[in-house]
Amino acid sequence: MKIQRIQRLAGLLTIAALAAGITWGQTQNPTEQQTPAQASQPETHITEAQAKELFASVDTILQFASDDSELPIKSKVKRRLTTRDAVEKYLEDKMKNDKDAKRMERSEIVLKKFGLLDEDFHLQPFLVSLLKEQIAGYYDSKTKTVNLLDWIAPDAQKPVLAHELTHALQDQHVDLDKWEDQSSDDLSHNVTEDNHHIATDEEDTAREAVLEGQAMAVLVDYELKPHGSSILSNPDVVKKLADEQGADADSPVLARAPLVLHESLLFPYQDGLKFEVDMLEDKGAAGAFAGVLDRPPATSFEIMNPRAYERQAKIPLLTMPDVHGLLDADYSPYDVGVMGQLDVRMLTELFGGPEMSAELTAAWDGGIYYVVQKKSAPDKNSTSSISLLYLSQWKTPEAATAFAKMYAGELGQQYSGVVRDTQDETDTNEQIYKTSEGPMLISTQGNLVFVSESFDLPLARKLEFLMVGAQGGNGQNAITAEAQPLPNLTGALVDFMAHCGMMRAALHLY
């Protein structure tokens, strides 16, 4: 954290000692970027005595995390000193083998179709560079081991240990390998499977925010305890600082990241921490930690609206109709899921800016998307090979109209050759455009906005009739307890980056 932010926090919390200079940007930033001159110098490593000190601190910090969270220590946590090369290999192996990484390969083309990534952006190599810059430490739930970094001084790693050892306690409480991975990468092939996916679509994203939010809460309390304070001394300040975070000058890769990557990386830390602060205020440590792990939120909406989670208020679940009879002859199923509140926040911020995003995100009231791939497409890696449907619901017709106008206004950024086709529009509620990838239909009906991209207009109107008509509470979206979710639109990004370990961008929150 920059010194100005530390000083502001110190003044608001009346902790004089905190203003003395605890800065992530100086002594506690685990992976500082080097100047060319520094980069030419051999990398230094901690001494044997420092390693011994660091290993000894694990048990002390684990006890602090247990006391702070009221999650009991059930077994000793293994510890390992690892090198930068080993960390990079860990990230590269995850990119090759992790299930979320495989999902990202599929979701990349959908993100581009929605305009969240540029067509010529290459996600995988950029993401590897981003994670190498950002990783600050990690707990491996498979080996039950906290990994310590051999090139960072012990004092700089201890706050990160507070965070990562909270994951160890979570693991001992719920078994993270089972609890954390609720999703399946299976494609759906019929309407029942479509709606199974939709009903539980955001569980992984919400659970990642719980895990990182809890770990961030322990980290912040660890930093504040020497100064006689905690999150509950002034919870509003903690949430305010989380809202104000952004990329720092010493994170050049993150600074270049598209908004969807930036927000996906930070969501579990930023929104997860704010969620946890509200839980601590309302439920105390036992309710905020074990209580939430035992009854986890299921959507980004619940993370972003903690009191709705407490009331067990659910967002409207839109129903996917049976479109397979219209599509399966010429198209293969590619993706289906929820456009959750997090996805809408990213989309509206990118298309409309922060002010419009704040208004429309608050007015969002549900959404689903469905993507198919043309069987005859010559290039299956191109956005021209897929067609998509997107139905969103809003709290008012005015919000629906505003969203439709914003979405249409950005088509020139997504496609070339965009021309309004008023002759084919049947009424004032329709907007039709010709694009380089086929027709585009945007239709507003009361609180609903229907979007069809790259379907022929006669087919698009049939699909609109089915999708809008399905939202009548016909019970078609009844779900079995065994249903396995796919991630929401940006869920694979959120989940994969959260699985890689503690990110240094989260350290700049405080």
Q: How far apart are CA 391 and CA 15, in angstroms?
A: 49
The model's pLDDT over 270-300, given as tens digits with 9 standing for 90+, comes to: 999 999 999 999 999 999 999 999 999 999 9
DSSP annotation of 385: G
Same domain for 203 and 129, yes or no, is yes
Q: How far apart are CA 315 and CA 331, in angstroms?
A: 31
Same domain for 360 and 428, yes or no, is yes
What tokens were used for 413?
């950024």
**Residue 200 pLDDT > 50:** yes
Q: How far apart are CA 303 and CA 315, in angstroms?
A: 12
Q: How far apart are CA 107 and CA 125, in angstroms?
A: 15
| Residue 483 within a domain | no
| Residue 49 within a domain | yes
| Residue 270 within a domain | yes
What tokens were used for 363?
């007015």
What average pLDDT does the segment 337-356 reach?
94
What tokens were used for 450?
């229907």
Same domain for 260 and 357, yes or no, is no
Contacts of 110 (CB under 8 A, 6+ apart): 334, 335, 369, 371, 386, 388, 489
Same domain for 379 and 417, yes or no, is yes
Q: Residue 267's pLDDT band (boundaries 50, 70, 90)?
A: very high
Same domain for 350 and 390, yes or no, is yes
What tokens were used for 330?
């010429």
Task: Give the pLDDT of residue 477.
Answer: 37
Same domain for 499 and 409, yes or no, is no
Cut 0.85: pTM above it: no
Q: What is the number of structural domains in the chain?
A: 2
Are 399 and 371 spatial neighbours (Cβ–Cβ below 8 Å)? no
| Residue 29 within a domain | no
Are 363 and 394 spatial neighbours (Cβ–Cβ below 8 Å)? yes
Are 78 and 165 spatial neighbours (Cβ–Cβ below 8 Å)? no
* Number of Cβ within a 10 Å radius of residue 25: 17
| Residue 32 within a domain | no
Same domain for 161 and 285, yes or no, is yes
* Number of Cβ within a 10 Å radius of residue 458: 9
Type of residue at 313: A
Task: Give the pLDDT of residue 446.
Answer: 95
* Average pLDDT along the chain: 82
Same domain for 114 and 205, yes or no, is yes
Same domain for 169 and 294, yes or no, is yes
| Residue 38 within a domain | no
| Residue 239 within a domain | yes
**Residue 21 pLDDT > 60:** no
Q: How far apart are CA 442 and CA 388, in angstroms?
A: 12
| Residue 3 within a domain | no
Residue 349's domain spans which residues? Answer: 324-469
Same domain for 303 and 399, yes or no, is no
Are 311 and 282 spatial neighbours (Cβ–Cβ below 8 Å)? no
Query: Rounded to 5 degrees, what are φ and ψ at 395?
Result: -75, -25
